[in-house]
A and B are shown apart, each in its own frame.
Chain A
Amino acid sequence: MAESKRYTLEEVTSIVNAIMVDEFEVEPADLRPEAKLNEDLGLDSLDGVDMVVAIEKAFHCRIAEEEARKIRSLQDVYERVLHRLGQSVSNEL
């Protein structure tokens, strides 16, 4: 059975940030882990479903609705992705 790819936090950060820039026209300078998707990066509730789909496609994983609802900041996105990939953030730091 093929092993799923393991990502470092740095790789996840890079891929998620690229999605934010390419799909949602976020300024790269605004991409801080603590940045709130809504208040700081300008994503609205209509963008949320697009963001989740883009992340699922990039990492070949599924993010459940209850998980998606908890996402507030970029850091939350990174952590959710690593969690879905079966990796913990603490292990990657």
Chain B
Amino acid sequence: MSSDLPQPTALLPHRPPILCIDRILALSADEAVCELEVRDGDHLVDGALWEGSLIEGLAQTAAALNGRFQTEAAGGAPAAESLRGLLVGLRGLTVTRRPRAGERVQFRVTLIKRLGPMILVAGEARCDDEVLAGGRLKFFVGPGA
């Protein structure tokens, strides 16, 4: 894991208890990998993480990808409004299992296409080698989102 990787809060507008990722594990122009440890007692955890939080974790990983893009575009810290985004579409989404308390979930999103304020990514949530959820996610990002 690179020590150069930013904290999630540097790239995402989300804050606890809505923040669904603990750390960024990898970040490039077209891929982001983030991790969450599921802890009993945390928001939306009742022995296992709520299915919707798997989708939210993928969305926040995509937000990290957008945050990197916006940082590059701005040549430094991006404007807060450029980090905003709305999840506007899901396609082919499957959730096979909720991760249990104590498990670590790895969220990976890969950029398919960026077109103006629209971003299309493929996302996958895993525990070790087991795929928990996956599908395509579409976002509207930037001012107005």
Chain B 91-122, CB-CB to A under 8 Å as 1, else 0, gives 10000000000000000000011111011100
Q: Which of A46, A49, A52 has the most CB of B within 10 A?
A: A49
B68 at interface, CB cutoff 8 A: no
Q: Is the CB of A65 within 8 A of B88?
A: no
By a CB distance below 8 angstroms, the chain A residues around B118 are 45-46, 48-49
Min CB gap A3→B, angstroms: 27
Q: Is the CB of B120 within 8 A of A65?
A: no
Per the bound structure, the CA–CA distance linking A54 and B114 in Å amounts to: 13
Q: Is the CB of B140 within 8 A of A48?
A: no
A65 partner, pick from B89, B91, B115, B138, beta carbons under 8 A: B115
By a CB distance below 8 angstroms, the chain A residues around B89 are 46, 50
CB-CB under 8 A for A53 and B116, given A46-B88, A46-B89, A46-B138? no
Per the bound structure, the CA–CA distance linking A42 and B111 in Å amounts to: 26
Q: Is the CB of A48 within 8 A of B138?
A: no
Q: Is the CB of B140 within 8 A of A65?
A: no
Chain A 36-56, CB-CB to B under 8 Å as 1, else 0, gives 000000000110111011001
Min CB gap A88→B, angstroms: 25
Min CB gap B64→A, angstroms: 19
A35 at interface, CB cutoff 8 A: no
Q: Is the CB of B140 within 8 A of A53?
A: no
The 9 closest A-B pairs by CB, nearest first: A49-B118, A49-B115, A53-B113, A49-B120, A46-B88, A49-B113, A65-B115, A68-B115, A53-B112
* Given A46-B118, A50-B138, 10 further pairs, Cβ under 8 A: A46-B88, A46-B89, A48-B118, A49-B115, A49-B119, A49-B120, A50-B91, A53-B113, A65-B115, A68-B115
